[in-house]
A and B are shown apart, each in its own frame.
Chain A
C-alpha cells in the first residue's frame, strides 16, 4: 500500500463485498471499489475468500425428505386426484 487510496477504508470495503458481487453498486461506487482493490492486497484476498465461501457453500446438499412425510403427501395427492378435476 503506497498512498492513501481515495477515502474508503478496508473496513468499509469488506462490508460492501456482496453489493459488489451482486452488481448492486452505482457505477461510481463500483469504480471506487475496484480502484481500492487494485491497490490493496488485503481486500483482494477478502473478496477472494468470499468467492471461495460461495463455492464451498455450493458443495452442500439439500436434506432428504422424511419417508413418513413422503408417504403422507402421496396420500394427499391420490385423494386430491380422485376428487379433483381430470381425475
Chain B
C-alpha cells in the first residue's frame, strides 16, 4: 500500500511556517489566516446552515490547528491538513444540525447540463449526428484585454457564485488558487474522478459565462 504518490507532502515553506507557528510567531499565524480563511469559510459553509455557524467552525478549526501543530508531520501540505481539520469539524457539526447534505447536492451532478448546448450539435438520425452544427467562435482572435476586461471578470465571478458548492470550491482551488489535483482531492476528500468531473462541470459553466459576456459586447 503506497498512497504517497497521490499526496503532496509539506514544502520547505510549509515546514518553515510550522516552525514559526510552534515558536509562537504571530505574523506567521496571521499570514496563514489571510491566505486560508476565505476558503475555510466556504468549505465549512458546505456542511453547516448559516454563515455564523461556519465562522464558529473555522474558529474552532484554527484552535485545532494550533493545538495540533506539534503533531504535524508534513505528510501532506499544510493547507491540505488545515482544510481537512475544517471539513471534519464542519461535517460533525452539520450532522448535529441534521444538515447532512447529500454529496449529489453539493456536487450538483443531478441533472447538470452538458458542456455545450445540445442544439449546437447535429441531431440524432441525421448525417454527422453529434458533430457541430454551430462551430464555436475562435477566441484566439479576441484581444486578451477584452477577454479579461472587468465586465467579463464580473460575469465569471457571478457564474462561480451560482455553482453548486463543491464545483465552486474545486474550480476556485484549481484555477483561481492554482492547487494541484492531488491537493484538492486530499483537502476535499474526493476521488480523482469526482475531482475531474466537478472541475469540468464548473469550467463548462464559466466558459458559457465568458461566451455570453463576449457576445453581449459584440452585439452592442
Contact = CB atoms under 8 A, between A and B. Distances in A.
A81 B24 contact: yes
B26 A78 contact: yes
A25 to B, nearest CB: 11
The A contact surface, by secondary structure, is helix
B13 to A, nearest CB: 18
Nearest to A81: B24
Contacts of B66: 76-77, 80, 84
A46 B59 contact: no
B4 interface: no
Interface of B is mostly: helix
Contact of B131 (A1, A49, A53, A57): A1
A20 to B, nearest CB: 10
Contact of B181 (A22, A54, A81, A85): A22
Given A70-B30, A76-B66, A60 B24 contact: no
Interface stretch (B74-82, B100-108, B146-154): B146-154
B203 A48 contact: no
A57 B171 contact: yes
A62 B67 contact: no
A62 B23 CA distance: 28
Interface string A57-87: 1111111110001101110111011001111
A69 B56 CA distance: 10
B160 interface: yes
Interface of B: 22-24, 26, 29-30, 33-35, 37-39, 55, 59, 62-63, 66-67, 70, 114-116, 118, 121, 128-132, 135-140, 147-148, 152-153, 156-157, 160, 171, 175-178, 181, 192, 196, 199-200, 203, 206-207, 210-211
17 contacts: A1-B128, A9-B131, A11-B118, A15-B115, A19-B200, A49-B136, A49-B207, A52-B140, A52-B147, A52-B210, A53-B210, A56-B147, A56-B156, A56-B210, A70-B34, A77-B62, A84-B66
Interface of A: 1, 4, 9-12, 14-15, 17-19, 22, 24, 40-43, 45-46, 48-50, 52-65, 69-70, 72-74, 76-78, 80-81, 84-87
Given A60-B176, A81-B26, 10 more contacts: A4-B128, A9-B131, A18-B203, A19-B196, A48-B139, A59-B148, A73-B62, A74-B26, A77-B29, A77-B30
